[in-house]
Structure 1
């Protein structure tokens, strides 16, 4: 498996392999790959002739410099994992210079308000960074289909909005959350959890499932209050937010409607590690 560090070399390789009616699938990642990432790659392999996986820790989407510094990086381990799926995957692992060409900063985006909900309230400039890097990568790879996990559901919604507003010719495919046997949503940050936090982290998904059940008979406000109480006295997990939102607008629900789809979103600190998750409610 060849790892390309420069976009010009990547483009030359893709061009040499593309034939008429060839489809290119793309899975953008920040590395530290796990089974969740691999499930996206498997989906891409099943539905495209070529698959490109990018591995790039994007500095412009981190509002916390310490988080950026400590984000796990192991390119060789990532490549070895991808090799277990196929030797025909193209890996793009650029430098910051190759991506940003000397100007490492985000551009400003308007995602029609999606960026101001949930994660946007707690991570200043995060979605400008996401929009910047995804648009740059789409311009470089020019995929037919791009695959994103629903664990970052708000990000998925924003990328769909990006594609729509900027008329980018790529089909965005959302893929189901991949979970550990204990229910914990797979995340690159899970590797940084201390042993005592690994033991209690499944409580997050357990609480989400209970909230879904309660949502069938109780108001959104009552469910939110119940979840907040579950975490109020937890010794090892600190709730940052729990929100029940309209899937289309991501705005917090005030009164339920039969004609709308709702989803619960949560962010929790396990020590210094921030974990997010979500669940469809109807």
Structure 2
């Protein structure tokens, strides 16, 4: 695997690969890689001929400066994992390479509607930062396909709408959430959990499944969500949000809708965990 740090080097290697007739796959990350990230690389290898990954902790998507400062930077270990997964090229730019004119003068990409509420409501400006950096990376890499994890359900919805609205010629491929044996969604933020909190962390996914069971049993949406918030508190969490949305466009779930996604975010100690569950309800929302 080759590691480059500048856009010029990145473009040279990708151009050579494309001239050789190779289909370019792209896996953007912020590093501190785990098995979930590697599953994206594996999928990219299965569907493309030349896999590019990026590691860039994007300051534009952090509304909490403390969170930005403490986000783990583990480039040497990440390089080893990507090389073992047969990634061809790693792009690891610094902030000046990505934002040469400074962040305050950076043009911002805003994706309306799907970026509002949920994590967008809890983290103001977060998805503007995500859509801006992903647009830049797409323009830098020019991939044929880009691979994202389903755990970040709203993020994927934002990127898909952005690609469609701006006519960006890239296929967005969604890969199922990677989970530990006990059901916890793999996340870089799991590293913030203490051993005791790690045992409790499965409670978020359990709660989402309990909402699905309640809705399938005919419980109202309001009662199901209220009970879920109480259960999260009983399990040691501080709930951020628990919502049910249409799985097709993230619009609010209304009576009769059957294809839904149940989304939750909650704090456990110093970690903010997110997860989701896509469900086809037997009778739709009551």
State the TM-score, normalized to the length of structure 2: 0.93
Partner Cα separation in structure 1 for residue 232 and residue 205 of structure 2: 12
Matched, 1:276 2:274: yes
- Cα distance, 1:249 vs. partner? 3.2
Partner Cα separation in structure 2 for residue 252 and residue 73 of structure 1: 37
Partner Cα separation in structure 2 for residue 51 and residue 227 of structure 1: 41
Equivalent in the alignment of 1:220: 221
Equivalent pairs counted in the alignment come to 278
- Cα distance, 1:134 vs. partner? 0.2
Partner Cα separation in structure 2 for residue 194 and residue 74 of structure 1: 19
Query: Quick check: 1:150–1:175 contact (8 Å CA) kept in 2?
Result: yes
Q: How does 1:243-258 map to 2 (within 5 A)?
A: 243-258=243-258
Equivalent in the alignment of 2:141: 141
Equivalent in the alignment of 2:96: 97
Partner Cα separation in structure 1 for residue 181 and residue 241 of structure 2: 25
Q: Deviations over 1:178-224 (max 9, x none)?
A: 00011100000111211111110011111111221222122221211
Query: Quick check: 2:147–2:172 contact (8 Å CA) kept in 1?
Result: yes
Partner Cα separation in structure 1 for residue 73 and residue 66 of structure 2: 14
- Cα distance, 1:254 vs. partner? 3.8
Matched, 1:242 2:242: yes
Query: Quick check: 1:24–1:51 contact (8 Å CA) kept in 2?
Result: yes
Partner Cα separation in structure 2 for residue 252 and residue 146 of structure 1: 27
Query: Quick check: 1:107–1:128 contact (8 Å CA) kept in 2?
Result: no
- Cα distance, 1:166 vs. partner? 0.7
In the alignment, structure 1 segments of 5+ residues that lack a partner are: none
Q: Are residues 220 and 107 of structure 1, via their aligned partners in 2, closer, same or farther at CA, if it must alter by over 3 Å?
A: farther
Does 24-33 or 195-204 show the bigger shift? 195-204
Q: Deviations over 1:5-41 (max 9, x none)?
A: 0010111112222235421000000000000000000
Partner-residue secondary structure (3-state), 1:151: coil
Partner Cα separation in structure 1 for residue 256 and residue 70 of structure 2: 41
Query: Quick check: 1:219–1:256 contact (8 Å CA) kept in 2?
Result: no
Query: Quick check: 1:220–1:255 contact (8 Å CA) kept in 2?
Result: no
Cα RMSD, aligned residues only:
1.4
- Cα distance, 1:233 vs. partner? 3.1
- Cα distance, 1:110 vs. partner? 4.1
Equivalent in the alignment of 1:265: 263
Query: Quick check: 1:107–1:129 contact (8 Å CA) kept in 2?
Result: no
Query: Quick check: 1:244–1:252 contact (8 Å CA) kept in 2?
Result: yes
Runs of 4+ off more than 3 Å: 105-110
State the TM-score, normalized to the length of structure 1: 0.95
Partner-residue secondary structure (3-state), 1:8: helix
Query: Quick check: 1:145–1:170 contact (8 Å CA) kept in 2?
Result: yes
Partner-residue secondary structure (3-state), 2:152: helix
Query: Quick check: 1:36–1:186 contact (8 Å CA) kept in 2?
Result: yes
